Amino acid sequence: MRERIVFAVVLAVLLAASAYAQTTASTSPTIITGGSYIDQTGHNQACLWKDGVWVGLDKPSGPNKSSMVYSLADSGPDLYAGGSATDSSGLEFAGYWKNDAWVGLANPHGVHRAAVISLAVSGPDVYACCYCFNDAGADNAGYYKNGNWVALANPLGPYKAVVWTLALSGADVYAGGWIENASQMQKAGYWKNSAWVGLAGPNGNEHSSEVRSLAVSGQDVYAVGSLLDARNVRLAGYWKNGAWVGLDKPSGPNVYNTAQVLTVSGSDVYVGGSSRKGSEPAIAGYWKNGAWVGLKGPEGTTDASVTSILVAGSEVYAIGTAYEPKGNGNLTGLWKDGTWNEPANPRGSTYGVLVSSLVILSAPVGGPEVSIGGPITIAQADASQEKLANGDIRVKFTVQIEVAAAPLTYDYHWERSDGAKTKVMTASVKEGSSSVFISETWQLGPKAERKELWEQLFIDVKDSHLSSEKIKVTLQE
């Protein structure tokens, strides 16, 4: 017979030197996507997927209730993942992970909501733009350079201004977004270093506009975002060196198109977004040099859109969303050359996953890969108790660990609340696996006191040290 059990599990990863490097001779590009998954407590946790394989990120030591990755960038052997972490009060803090180490960024306006939404890296310099709210609840334009805030002015006066995207070219920093005038009308543009460059639409009488994505190729500056004309109709297109380039309406007249992101590969310009005809569901896709390429979402989904796009050789990679109307909401995933791929939640489902960012690693072929995540992380912990036929009480403690790459060999031992320690044991995660359960059984006599017990798991792997928090059990009648 099983008795009722009350247990409290607090998961904390205590990890030293968790990042590690490998050597590869692969000629295929390494694709990193970033976002979050819903953990066993119902909170979003920041993570990466490396070629579709889940890689956990270390929780920040302070605000660690939930976390999210919004932007990725790489530079040589290092991978940067920008986002936010939320504390127990719900306050969101900006920062980024360099490989697996969290770097917090203080909101220059005080203790208010903030998150990194775009990253750019050049040599040792890390640039991050974020929404950073002030006392009035408004966002002020600027970005961080190596943790120091660089404010950007609205040339129209003391009105709202927003930086949404960053691009680097040589010594120049481009920060795209929008400013507002006295009538709160949004005007698209970008700051080149600290000088504002406004962007006008094809008619010069646009109602509202903004820049959401920037790219610089040679001497050319490309910008894309939202543009509403005087009739409040959205126009699809982008700016090249300040001149508007309209995009075709692939579905004919009465079409509502969105152009959200762009990338430039050689002489080709790719613009990702969606196209909707009348009240029909939106179709995800992209324009390559003005020609529309539609993308099919997963079976049973309707509205879809591309939110990030990159090109490697002849292959096009696009992140996007697709709405699943049977109660599961928006699915997010990656199209590779038109084929949809959904990353899995490490808890065993494709639901509860949000993919928000994409990077193709630039490490040279045959050179070191970017080091991401720890070799091993703790996903969840549990405990149960059972009364045996002879009256003994058996308590079982279980911890699920997840690995960045298998096969992997590790040493582990348990420590108990009575001071006992198990012997050090060696175990392995087999190739093709991504997680494994480690269990320990503590058998008590029939006259065991009704008290709180705990066990704690300690793991050593690749010069790293990992431990769970104490997994507690309160024995009850």
Q: Which two tokens stand for residue 296?
A: 């099919």
Over the Cα atoms of the chain, what is R_g? 25
Q: Which of the residue ranges 16-25, 36-45, 244-253 would you say has the lowest mean pLDDT?
A: 16-25
Q: Which of the residue ranges 5-19, 62-76, 444-458 would you say has the lowest mean pLDDT?
A: 5-19
Q: How far, in Å, CA of 89 to CA of 104, rounded?
A: 17
Beta strands in 61-108 (DSSP E): 66-75, 78-86, 92-98, 101-105
With cut-offs at 50, 70 and 90, classify the pLDDT of residue 143: very high
Whether residue 24 has pLDDT greater than 60: no
Q: Which two tokens stand for residue 466?
A: 């990992």
Q: Where are the domains of the chain?
A: 23-360, 376-474
Q: Which two tokens stand for residue 339?
A: 């084929």
Helix (H, G, I), strand (E, B) or coil at 154: coil
How long, in residues, is the chain?
477
Residues 187-218: pLDDT tens digits? 999 999 999 999 988 877 667 889 999 999 99
Q: How far, in Å, CA of 205 to CA of 195, rounded?
A: 23
> In what side-by-side order are the strands of the sheet with 125-132?
114-122, 125-132, 142-145, 148-151
Quick one: average pLDDT of 262-271?
A: 94
What is the pLDDT at residue 43?
81
> In what side-by-side order are the strands of the sheet with 376-387?
376-387, 393-403, 435-444
Q: How far, in Å, CA of 301 to CA of 299, rounded?
A: 6
What is the pLDDT at residue 375?
64
Q: Report which of residues 249 and 308 the model is more confident about.
A: 308
Q: How far, in Å, CA of 153 to CA of 201, rounded?
A: 22
Whether residue 10 has pLDDT greater than 50: no
Q: Which two tokens stand for residue 382?
A: 């549990």
Winning range, highest mean pLDDT, from 38-42, 67-71, 457-461:
67-71
Quick one: average pLDDT of 32-46?
A: 83
What is the pLDDT at residue 433?
75
What is the pLDDT at residue 19?
26
The alpha carbon of 468 is separated from its chain's Cα centroid by a whole number of angstroms, namely 24
Quick one: average pLDDT of 291-320?
A: 90
As a CATH number, domain 376-474 is 2.60.40.10
What is the pLDDT at residue 14?
23
Whether residue 181 has pLDDT greater than 70: yes
What is the pLDDT at residue 254?
62
Residue recorded with tokens 């699943």: 324
Q: Report which of residues 405 and 391 the model is more confident about.
A: 391
Residues 400-433: pLDDT tens digits? 887 766 788 888 999 998 888 899 998 888 877 7
With cut-offs at 50, 70 and 90, classify the pLDDT of residue 390: confident
Q: Are 413 and 425 in contact (CB under 8 A)?
A: yes
Please check whether the two domains, 23-360 and 376-474, share a CATH topology: no
Q: How many CB atoms lie within 10 A of CB 42?
A: 8
Whether residue 182 has pLDDT greater than 60: yes
- Class of residue 159 by CB neighbours under 10 A (exposed 0-12, middle 13-18, buried 19+): middle
Whether residue 1 has pLDDT greater than 50: no
What is the pLDDT at residue 400?
83
23-360 folds as: Neuraminidase (2.120.10)
Q: Which two tokens stand for residue 24?
A: 């590869």
Q: What is the DSSP letter of 23?
A: B
Residues 358-367: pLDDT tens digits? 888 754 433 3
Residues 322-364: pLDDT tens digits? 888 776 677 888 999 899 988 877 665 555 788 888 888 754 4
Q: Is the pTM of this model over 0.85?
A: no
Closest to 33 (Cα-Cα) out of 376, 347, 335, 262: 335
Percent of the chain with pLDDT over 90: 33
Q: Are 284 and 294 in contact (CB under 8 A)?
A: yes
What is the pLDDT at residue 5?
29
What is the pLDDT at residue 215?
95
Residues 84-124: pLDDT tens digits? 998 878 888 999 999 888 999 988 877 788 889 999 999 89
